[in-house]
């Protein structure tokens, strides 16, 4: 495969171990430039900066990565890099390696997945890579798997009829040699039953913290949350159209009101 131009971002910040590990792996075979948040932006979803200026700076040389830190969100980083920073459009946007899974409804809250979605908005094929937190110590070996998966997706070529797909890839909470393989999956509708507990202490520590467990996980490995729990690497191809098709005929009569 020819060397591809990759824009690499994340939501954990430009100096996080996950992005450095993934940069080191991808850059062996491809040309990688970083545009990542200056500060951690986990759970920020697809937020972007509207009411204040963005600022950027080149990454410190001691990091060993080419690119920029940006005073915004993950989607800011992709939007700003594609429209201003980069002299030419990259072949791919890659987001990660995030330490913490982003399967199911988590993908809507995730800054990692939002960065890949933003890349696809710009018609650039994009991939988000996340690793279940208990397996964070295996980021290096799983980044090697990420490179293999990236190359496999890149070899597929552009989407059909001009459609741009983005991919949500999750690695399980086990050692790589215990991983059961790869499953191509649908996005789960499993969600976290969020609740809040009071946190004692002086300001700003005092207040309420969210917690919860994942609920309504489908029973089949055809969905990403269940397959991930069962020890598989999951690849979910995602798009933009969230229309509830089943509701369209039910609402037809309202056009006569």
pLDDT band at 160 (very low <50, low <70, confident <90, very high): low
Query: pTM (2 decimals)?
Result: 0.93
What pLDDT is attached to residue 30?
A: 98
Integer Cα distance of 184 and 224 in angstroms: 8
Radius of gyration of the chain (CA): 19
Instruction: For residue 151, say if its preceding peptide bond is cis, omega within 30 degrees of 0.
Output: no
Instruction: Give the per-residue pLDDT at 52.
Output: 94
Q: 18 by DSSP, 3-state: which?
A: helix
DSSP3 helix / strand / coil % (the chain, rounded to 5)? 35, 25, 40
**204-257 confidence digits (pLDDT tens):** 777 888 887 877 788 999 999 999 999 999 999 999 988 999 999 999 889 888
Question: Positive or negative CA dihedral for 63, 64, 65, 66?
Answer: positive
Helix 17-26 / helix 139-154 crossing angle, nearest 10 deg: 50
pLDDT band at 38 (very low <50, low <70, confident <90, very high): very high
Nearest to 188 by CA among 221, 161, 147, 155: 221
List pLDDT tens digits, range 49-106. Answer: 999 999 999 999 999 999 999 999 999 999 999 999 999 999 999 999 999 999 999 9
The answer on pLDDT for 31 being more than 70 is yes
Q: Would you call the peptide bond into 41 cis, given omega within 30 degrees of 0 as the criterion? A: no
Task: Give per-residue pLDDT as tens, 91-137.
Answer: 999 999 999 999 999 999 999 999 999 999 999 999 999 999 999 99
Cα–Cα distance for residue pair 135/29, rounded to 1 Å: 25
Q: What average pLDDT does range 9-27 have in this prediction?
A: 97
**Which domains does the chain carry?**
5-189+219-256 (3.40.1210.10)
């Amino acid at each position: 495969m020819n060397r591809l131009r990759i824009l690499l971002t994340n939501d954990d910040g430009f100096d996080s171990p996950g992005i450095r590990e993934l940069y080191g792996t991808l850059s062996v075979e491809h040309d990688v430039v970083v545009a990542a948040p200056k500060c951690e932006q986990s759970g920020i979803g697809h937020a972007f900066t509207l009411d204040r200026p963005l600022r950027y700076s080149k990454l410190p040389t001691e990091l060993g990565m080419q690119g920029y830190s940006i005073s915004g969100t993950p989607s800011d980083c992709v939007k700003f890099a594609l429209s201003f920073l980069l002299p030419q459009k990259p072949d791919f946007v890659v987001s990660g390696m995030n330490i913490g899974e982003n399967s199911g409804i988590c993908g809507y809250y995730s800054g990692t997945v939002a960065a890949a979605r933003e890349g696809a908005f710009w018609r650039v094929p994009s991939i988000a890579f996340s690793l279940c937190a208990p397996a964070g110590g295996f980021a290096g070996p799983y980044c090697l798997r990420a490179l293999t998966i990236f190359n496999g997706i890149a070899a597929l070529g552009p989407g059909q009829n001009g459609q741009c797909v983005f991919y949500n890839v999750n690695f399980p909470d086990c050692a790589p040699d215990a991983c059961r393989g790869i499953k191509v999956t649908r996005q789960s509708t499993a969600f976290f039953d969020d609740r809040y507990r009071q946190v004692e202490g002086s300001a700003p520590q005092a207040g309420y913290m969210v917690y919860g467990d994942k609920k309504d996980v489908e029973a089949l490995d055809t969905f990403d949350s269940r397959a991930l729990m069962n020890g598989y690497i999951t690849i979910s191809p995602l798009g933009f159209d969230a229309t509830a098709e089943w509701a369209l005929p039910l609402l037809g009569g309202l056009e006569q009101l």
